[in-house]
Amino acid sequence: MKLILPLLLAALLSAPAFAAGEKPAAAPVPAKPDLAKGEAKYREVCMACHAEDGNSAIPANPKLARQHPEYLVKQLQEFKSGKRNNAVMKGFASTLSDDDMKNISFWVASKPAKPGFAKEKELVALGEKIYRGGIQDRQIAACAGCHSPNGAGIPAQFPRLAGQHADYTAAQLNAFRDGSRKNSIQMSLVAAKMNDREIKAVSDYIAGLR
C-alpha cells in the first residue's frame, strides 16, 4: 500500500489537467492551399521557364501541369535546402515560403496536361519493355510498378511521368546515375544499372504515355 500511493500520486500529477467539461484541444487543421495566390506567385516566379499553364515548351524544363502537388512541394523544399542540387532552381525556391510552395504546387497541379509524343521509333519497343517489365537480368524494376502503367504515378509518393519531355527525363536519369542528383535512393539505384541507350529509350517512351 505504501508503494501504490506514491505511484498513483505521480500518475495524477503527470496527467493533463482539464477543467470540468473542458476537452483537450484538437490538432490544428492545415490551411487549405490558396489557388489565387498560387497562380499569382507562379506567374511571378515560374511562368518564364514552365509556361503559362505548366506545360513547358522547353524540352530541358519539366512539364508541371497535373503533377502531384505533394511531390512538387517536396522538390521545391529540397531545391531550397540544397538536397536537390540545381543553382537556378535554388535561386527561385529560396524566395518562396512554405505557403508559396503549397499554393503554387496545388495551382499548377490543377492545370490540364498537354500530351507528348515519342520520337525515337526504333527505340519504342525497348522503352516499353523497360517501362512495363524492367530489365530482369540486372534486377531493374519496371517503371510502371511505381509510376503506374499509364504514367500517372502515385500521389504523394511517386511523380507523374506521362507526357514528360524526353530530354528532361533522360537528364534526370543521368543525374541519378552519375550521383549529381541525390534526393531519391530508389532512383539512384535504378539508374546506376542503366546504359545510355536504355535511358534514351525509356525516356522517349514516357514522353508518349497518356
SS (H, E, C) 161-176: CCCCCHHHHHHHHHHH
**C-alpha torsion 60→65→69→71, nearest 10:** -30
Residue written as grid cell 511531390: 71
pLDDT at 26: 56
The CATH superfamily of 121-207 is: Cytochrome c-like domain (1.10.760.10)
Query: How far is it, in rounded angstroms, from Cα 143 to Cα 204?
Result: 13
**Long-range Cβ contacts of 188-193 (<8 Å, 24+ apart):** 190/140, 190/141, 193/135, 193/138, 193/139, 193/140
pLDDT at 27: 58
Would you kindly state where each structural domain of the chain is located, as residue ranges? 35-109, 121-207
In the predicted model, residues of the chain with pLDDT beneath 50 are 1-19
Instruction: Give residue-wise pLDDT tens across range 140-187.
Output: 999 999 999 999 999 988 999 999 999 999 999 999 999 999 999 999
C-alpha torsion sign, points 110, 114, 115, 120? negative
In this structure, the number of other CB atoms found within 10 A of the CB of residue 82 comes to 11
Evaluate whether 133 touches 192 at the Cβ level (below 8 Å): no
Residue written as grid cell 515560374: 46
**Topology of domain 35-109, per CATH?**
Cytochrome Bc1 Complex; Chain D, domain 2 (1.10.760)
Contacts of 64 (CB under 8 A, 6+ apart): 46, 50, 54, 56, 72, 108, 109, 111
pLDDT at 24: 56
Q: Over pLDDT 70: what percentage of the chain? A: 86
pLDDT at 156: 86
Domains 35-109 and 121-207 share a fold: yes
